[in-house]
Structure formats: structure tokens, C-alpha cells
Amino acid sequence: MAVEAELKARVRHPEAVRERLVSRAVEHVQVYRDRYFDRPSGELTDQGYEVRLRTVEGEHSSTTVLTFKEPAVHASGSKPEHETTVADGQAVAALLTGLGLTERIAFSKHCRNHRFTENGYDLLATLVHVPELEGTFLEVETQVERTEDVPAGLAMVRAVLNSLGVVEDDLTTEQYTDAVAAQRARTASVE
């Protein structure tokens, strides 16, 4: 089982961070079309589980990935993650709904991905813009094999964030799903 050791931050100076990332690794621009599923009661989300069907669209390709995340094992929100590429996203969506899950929320993330290795850790740094939310976010993650390895993985992630000019006050544990839902509720109350 792999555990995603990840930290997310709001970025004050996105272009400066992007320049630093581009100097480290090739940039891959992609759009993630995320659909989150849950039981009608919301109990999976309430217990910290995530079931996500993501279509990743690049300039010349499209891939669909099914992800199941277990509850967080660390205060950072780091979670055990199980992920697989699927050939037919519509068939998987039908399977999930046939098993009684419903689509809880769907939204898009515009991503600039940078993959690199540092001190033996394979890292992914992603600048994220969610059209429904203000600002730019930065996610930096690495995969570790065991829950006990999460603190060491997060120490590496923090070192990368520091090198990019991201400070502790910029970190956030807010989930995109919650932020998008809250924004939609605010928009609906104004209308």
C-alpha cells in the first residue's frame, strides 16, 4: 500500500514559483476533470474516504484514473491511496452508481505538473487553478510505502516548499471538494 505524503499551499506569487519549478523539471499542462462519488448518506466522506474518477486531459492525450483514498493517517491529510488507470470512464461511473454510490461533486482543476527526484524521493509539484476558486494552489507530494514513513516524506515535501518560497503560513488542509461546494452554495444564495 502506498501512502501519499502531500502538502498543499495557497501561492502568493504563482509566477515566481512556476519559474523555480520550470528550472527543476519539465512542465506538463493538464486539465483534471474530477468526479467524486459517495453513498447517498455521505458516510464515506464523513469517515474520510474518497472515491474519485478523474479524467486527465493533456495536449495530445486523455487518461481516466480511478482512485480510492483511505482516511488520513497524519494531521497533514496524507492518506493511503489506491489508484488504477481505467479504459472506459463511463463504464466505471456506471459501475459505481450501480453499486449504490452517487456523484457527490464534480469540478475541473487546471494543472501545471512538474516531476523530479530529490534526495531519493520522487516528487510531483503541481500548480493548481480551480476556475470556481480564487487564487492558485501548490500541491507537493511523494509516495511512501508505510504509514511510519509519512513524516520523512513530509519533511522532504516541506524542504521543496521552502525552496520554492512557500512558508508555513501558506499551508492549507482545505479540500477542493469542500471549497468548491462552499463557493457554489454562496453563489446559489446570491442568485
Over residues 33-47, mean pLDDT: 97
pLDDT (tens digit per residue) in 80-137 = 999 999 999 999 999 999 999 999 999 999 999 999 999 999 999 999 999 999 999 9
Average pLDDT across the chain, whole number: 96
Tell me what pLDDT residue 190 has: 82
Tell me what pLDDT residue 79 has: 95
pLDDT at 191 exceeding the cut of 80: no
pLDDT (tens digit per residue) in 65-77 = 999 999 999 999 9
Percent of the chain scored above 70 by pLDDT?
99
Sorted by where each begins, the domain ranges of the chain are 2-190
Please say whether the structural domain 2-190 has been given the CATH code 2.40.320.10. yes
What is the per-residue burial (b if ≥16 Cβ within 10 Å, else e) of 22-53?
eebeeeeebebbbbbbbbeeeebbeeeebbbb
